[in-house]
Amino acid sequence: MTMVAINAAIATTAQNPDAAYLDYPSYNGEDLELTVDSKGTHWRLWSPAAEAARVILYPTDRNTAATDTIPMTRGENGTWVASVPKQLYGSFYTFSILDKGKWLAETPGVWAKAVGTNGHRAAIIDFAATNPAGWESDRGPKISHINDAVIYEMHHRDFSQHPSSGIVNKGKFLALTEPGTVNAQGEATGIDHLKELGVTHVHILPSYDYNSVDESNLPSNGYNWGYDPYNYNAPEGSYSTNPSDPSARVTEMKEMVKSLHDNGIGVIMDVVYNHTANNDDSNFSLTAPGYYYRHRPDGSYSDASGCGNETASERLQMRDFIINSVKYWAKEYHIDGFRFDLMAIHDIETMNEVAAALKEINPDIFIYGEGWTAGDSPLPVGKRALKENVARMPEVAVFSDDIRDAIKGHYTDASDRGFATGKPGLEETVKIGIVGATAHPQVDYSKGNNSKFAYAAAPTQVINYVSCHDDLMLTDKLRKSMPDATEAERKRAARLAQTIVLTSQGTPFIFAGEEIFRDKKGVHNSYKSPDSINAIDWSLKHDNADQFDYYRELIKLRKEHPAFRMTTTDQVARHLKFDKVSEPNLISYSLVDNANGDSWKEIKLVFNGSDEPRQVKIAKGDWTVIADDGKIKASGLSSSKGGKMTVAPRSALILAREK
CA–CA separation, 546 vs 555, rounded Å?
A: 14
Q: Which helix (H) or strand (E) holds 604?
A: strand 602-608
Smallest separation, CB 113 to Ca ion (Å):
14
Residue 211 Cβ vs Ca ion, minimum distance, rounded to whole Å: 6
* Alpha carbon separation from 132 to 53, 181, 215, 233, 267 (Å, rounded): 37, 22, 24, 19, 16
Find the helix or strand (DSSP H, E) in which 45 lies.
strand 40-46
195-224 positions binding Ca ion, by CB under 5 A: 209
Instruction: Tell me which residues in 430-489 interact with Ca ion (CB under 5 A).
Output: none
Least CB distance from residue 64 to Ca ion, whole Å?
A: 19
Q: Give the nearer residue to Ca ion in terms of CB position, either 307 or 344.
A: 307
Task: Give least dist CB 132 to Ca ion, A.
Answer: 22
Start-to-end CA distance of the chain, whole Å, equals: 70
**Least CB distance to Ca ion at residue 149 (A):** 29
- Pick between residue 158 and residue 236 the one whose CB is nearest to Ca ion: 236
CB of 244 to Ca ion, least distance (A): 12
Residue 234: CB minimum distance to Ca ion, A: 9
SS3 state at 434: helix
Residue nearest to Ca ion (CB): 209
Residue 103 phi/psi, 5-degree rounding, is -75, 120
Q: With H, G, I as helix, E, B as strand and everything else as coil, classify residue 253.
A: helix
The length of the chain, given as a count of residues: 659
Taking phi over 0 as left and psi of -120 to 50 as alpha, with beta for the rest, 66 belongs to beta
Choices 42-50, 230-238, 580-588, 650-658 (CB under 5 A): range interacting with Ca ion? 230-238
234-242, 252-260, 367-375, 576-584 -> range binding Ca ion (CB under 5 A): 234-242
Nearer to Ca ion, 170 or 491 (CB): 170
Residues in the interface with Ca ion (CB under 5 A) total 2
Q: Is the separation of the CB atoms in 270 and 341 below 8 Å? A: yes
**Helix count and strand count (H, E) for the chain:** 15, 28
Residue 268, H or E segment: strand 266-271
Q: How far apart are CA 18 and CA 337, in angstroms?
A: 32
Buried b (16+ CB within 10 A) or exposed e, 29-62: eeebbbebeeeebbbbbbbbbbeebbbbbbeebe
Smallest distance, Ca ion to C-beta of residue 531, A: 18
**Cα separation, 326 vs 342, whole angstroms:** 16
Q: Which is nearer to Ca ion, 235 or 459 (CB)?
A: 235
Please give the Cα distance from 578 to 526 (Å, whole number).
39
Stretch that binds Ca ion, among 88-96, 157-165, 229-237, 422-430 (CB under 5 A): 229-237
The total of other beta-carbon atoms located within 10 Å of residue 447's CB is 14
Report the residue number, 61 or 209, with the smaller CB distance to Ca ion: 209
- Nearer residue to Ca ion within complex by CB, 20 or 213: 213
For Ca ion, the closer of residues 121 and 491 by Cβ is 121
- Comparing CA positions, the residue from 497, 530, 528, 529 lying closest to residue 515 is 497
- Check if 570 is active-site: no
User: Which is nearer to Ca ion, 222 or 422 (by Cβ)?
Assistant: 222
Question: Do 549 and 633 form a contact (C-beta atoms < 8 A)?
Answer: no
19 burial class (0-12, 13-18, 19+ CB within 10 angstroms)?
middle
Q: Which is nearer to Ca ion, 187 or 209 (CB)?
A: 209
Cα gap 371→385, rounded to integer Å: 6
Alpha helices, DSSP H only, in 182-341?
190-197, 246-262, 283-287, 316-333
Angle between the N-to-C axes of helices 190-197 and 246-262, in degrees from 0 to 180, rounded to the nearest 10: 30
414/425 Cα distance (integer angstroms): 18
* Among 370, 395, 427, 476, the one annotated catalytic: 370
Among residues 209 and 401, whose Cβ is nearest to Ca ion? 209
Report how far residue 322's alpha carbon sits from residue 338's, in angstroms, rounded to the nearest whole number: 12
Cβ of residue 343: shortest distance to Ca ion, in angstroms? 23
Q: Does 245 bind Ca ion (CB under 5 A)?
A: no
Ranges within 346-385 binding Ca ion (CB under 5 A): none
Q: 436 near 504, Cβ under 8 Å? A: yes
Closest contact distance (angstroms) between CB of 62 and Ca ion is 13
Q: Are strands 92-99 and 52-58 parallel, antiparallel or unpaired?
A: antiparallel
Choose, from 18, 61, 236, 341, the residue flagged as catalytic. 341
Q: Rank residues 28 and 241 by Cβ distance to Ca ion and give the closer one.
A: 241
Backbone angles phi and psi of 271, in degrees to 5 = -120, 140
The closest of 320, 427, 314, 304 to 372, measured between CA atoms, is 304
Q: Tell me if residue 478 falls in helix, strand or coil.
A: helix
Complex with Ca ion: residue 209 or 405, whichever CB lies closer: 209
- Quick one: which segment of 219-227, 232-240, 258-266, 310-318 binds Ca ion (CB under 5 A)? 232-240
Q: Smallest distance, Å, CB 153 to Ca ion? A: 21
Nearest to 164 by CA among 535, 530, 511, 533: 535
Least distance CB 237 / Ca ion (angstroms) = 5
Q: Check if 370 is active-site.
A: yes
Question: Which residues of this protein are in contact with Ca ion, per CB under 5 A?
Answer: 209, 237
- Catalytic machinery residues: 341, 370
